[in-house]
């Protein structure tokens, strides 16, 4: 029963890393453009790039975790035992 747990771990890693990586990125991007829109003066491209770059850090941190999760998921799917009709009897 160890192999099906690889599938669960892989799926868990993928889902958790996507949520943990993209949600802060999305919130940071919205905050960056909201701050730019609320300023009465023009925002420089450097300021906007710095804010967006800070938000993208979360994606860069959790992307390797998602890749590892996909690898574990694939490994679990490849290594799972094949179901045969002889086994059902």
- In a domain, residue 56? The reply is yes
Residue 67 lies in a domain: yes
Neighbours of 2 (CB within 10 A): 7
For residue 52, how many C-alpha atoms fall within 13 Å in the half-sphere facing its CB? 9
Distance spanning both ends of the chain, measured CA to CA:
19
Residue 20 lies in a domain: yes
* Residue 88, domain member (yes or no): no
Q: Is residue 87 one of the residues assigned to a domain?
A: no
- Count how many domains the chain has: 1
| Host domain of residue 10 | 2-81
Q: What would the pLDDT profile of 62-71 be if each residue is shown by its tens digit? A: 888 889 888 8
Task: Give me the residues of the chain with pLDDT under 50, please.
Answer: 1-2
Output the pTM of the full model.
0.64
């Amino acid at each position: 029963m160890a192999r099906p747990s690889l599938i669960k771990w892989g799926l868990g890693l993928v889902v958790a890393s996507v949520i943990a990586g993209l949600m802060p990125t999305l919130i940071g991007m919205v905050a960056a453009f909201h701050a730019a829109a609320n300023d009465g003066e023009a925002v420089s491209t450097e300021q906007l790039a710095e804010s967006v770059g800070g938000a993208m850090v979360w994606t860069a941190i959790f992307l390797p975790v998602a890749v590892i999760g996909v690898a574990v998921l694939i490994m679990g799917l490849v290594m799972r035992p094949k179901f045969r009709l002889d086994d059902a009897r």
